[in-house]
A and B are shown apart, each in its own frame.
Chain A
Amino acid sequence: DAGITQSPRHKVTETGTPVTLRCHQTENHRYMYWYRQDPGHGLRLIHYSYGVKDTDKGEVSDGYSVSRSKTEDFLLTLESATSSQTSVYFCAISGTGPRTRPTEAFFGQGTRLTVV
């Protein structure tokens, strides 16, 4: 299995509190992603990173920020959690192959976040 871990695995928090989810990889892969998964919506990209301090928004980035200060860690922060951010969050990593073509993505086990 790819070396990717998410923490925490489960979290319950109150509306209005800040929350940070951590994704840690040991593969030295270039790309890292944060997705959320909700019934009927599949996996939706929140933010992704293509290098240290290089990030870009996905389709559902409002209310989320990210940081990547070193290759192995990608943090997702909910500045002020809302009930609509209750979801399962997945981190993924992918590398580069021949001619810098991206390789397939590997996923962490997910973080189940409940905002009450």
Chain B
Amino acid sequence: RKEVEQDPGPFNVPEGATVAFNCTYSNSASQSFFWYRQDCRKEPKLLMSVYSSGNEDGRFTAQLNRASQYISLLIRDSKLSDSATYLCVVSDYGGATNKLIFGTGTLLAVQP
């Protein structure tokens, strides 16, 4: 089983739609969680961190469920510019080390 798993998609949605991505992780001791966005042939960039209480940034909402070991990302009122691959990231750190493990990503295509 992979450490971090995501539905690869693609998710094809019309402009204005609400879309949700889920990600599951296997290590119950994981400490930090993030969502990244990656545009074609570019480096990944941080979209938002995920906190236990859930957090929102404009049209984006991230949730963490530690008991079920999954993370979610909700995008409301999708824009054409939201088309990208969304990567779930889990940080396993302890002592001096810190491993960042990425899911394979979920491709979102927003259609006009």
Residues of A within 8 A of B (CB): 31, 33, 35, 40-45, 48, 50-51, 54, 56, 58, 90, 92, 94, 101-102, 104-110
Cβ of A43 and Cβ of B102 under 8 Å apart? yes
Residue of A nearest to B100 (CB): A105
Contact A102 B96 (CB under 8 A): no
Interface contact B102-A35, CB-CB below 8 Å: yes
Q: Is the CB of B91 within 8 A of A50?
A: no
Query: Size class of B's contact patch?
Result: 20 to 34
Contact with A along B18-37 (1 / 0, CB 8 A): 00000000000001101000
Q: A94 — which chain B residues lie within 8 A by C-beta? A: 98, 100
CA distance A98 to B96 in the complex (A): 15
Chain B positions 40 through 72: 1 when the CB is less than 8 Å from some CB of chain A, otherwise 0: 001111100100000000000000000000000
* B96 engages A109 (CB within 8 Å): no
Please determine whether B99 and A58 come into contact, CB atoms closer than 8 angstroms.
Answer: yes
A109 to B44, CA, bound (A): 9
Please name 17 further chain A to chain B contacts, defined as beta carbons within 8 Å, in addition to the given A31-B98, A56-B97, A105-B89, sorted by A numbering: A33-B100, A35-B102, A42-B104, A42-B105, A43-B44, A43-B87, A48-B99, A50-B97, A54-B96, A90-B44, A94-B100, A101-B32, A102-B93, A105-B46, A106-B46, A107-B43, A109-B42
Interface centre among A33, A42, A50, A56 (most CB of B within 10 A): A42
Contact of B104 among A41, A45, A48, A90 (CB under 8 A): A41
Judging by beta carbons under 8 Å apart, are B32 and A102 in contact?
A: yes
Q: Is B104 in contact with A107, judged by CB distance below 8 angstroms? A: no
Q: How far is the CB of A33 from chain B (nearest CB, A)?
A: 6
A106 to B104, CA, bound (A): 18
Question: Which chain B residues lie closer than 8 Å to A104 at the CB level?
Answer: 34, 46, 49
Cα A110 to Cα B93 with chains together (Å): 25
CB–CB A102/B98 < 8 A: yes
A24 to chain B, nearest CB (A): 15
Contacts of B49 in A (CB 8 A): 104
A42 touches B96 (CB 8 A): no
